[in-house]
Amino acid sequence: MVVTGGSKGIGLETARLLAREGARVLICARRESALAEAAADIRRITGCAVATQSLDVTSVEQIAGLPDAIGQTLGGIDIRVNRAGTGTCKPFLEVSDAELLYGMAVNVFATWEREIAKRPLSGEEAERIRHEWSANQGMRATRWGTPEELASVIVFAASDAASYVNGAVLVADGAQGHS
């Protein structure tokens, strides 16, 4: 199993749960140091080793080399979890061409609070920004899902427990789109 964006957040938690379930996992992220830290964390918590591969999903050349890296480390894959991503948080008509192209490069060719603030954030600052954004987006009656909650849905969908699920869309949004 390959998890892009696997060095933190939902990607890291997904890799943790997959490793705990006995899957052979390759995590990808841009920074080697973040990958090494994530791999050590997974091994410490689960007792399982995961492979790592430095990967910038905005680089076509690096993406083209991913199949070889997968072949060398895992031999092949059954499941790929694409967790690398970004977004611009403002009305669509206000999004610049540069912002749109950057988002497409990360999301299609392949974090959230830092993109809004344009700087690294502490946990407390990130939580405050999520709440501010949620209030502006009509999400007042719900909360953000935790990495553990979302990773559990991903691991379920990839497991034999979901063997009877076919052609379904599993929505994990805390009922944000429902009245």
Report the CATH fold assignment for 2-83.
Rossmann fold (3.40.50)
Nearest to 118 by CA among 90, 160, 141, 156: 90
pLDDT digits (tens, 9 = 90+) for 28-68: 999 999 999 999 999 999 999 999 999 987 787 888 899 99
Residues 151/16, Cβ–Cβ less than 8 Å: yes
Instruction: Give the type of residue at 156.
Output: F
Strands laid side by side in the 26-29 sheet = 51-54, 26-29, 2-4, 80-82
Write the pLDDT tens digit of every residue in 69-112: 999 999 998 888 887 766 666 777 787 777 766 666 555 544 47
Domain boundaries, the chain: 2-83, 92-136
- Within 23-164, strands assigned E span 26-29, 51-54, 80-82
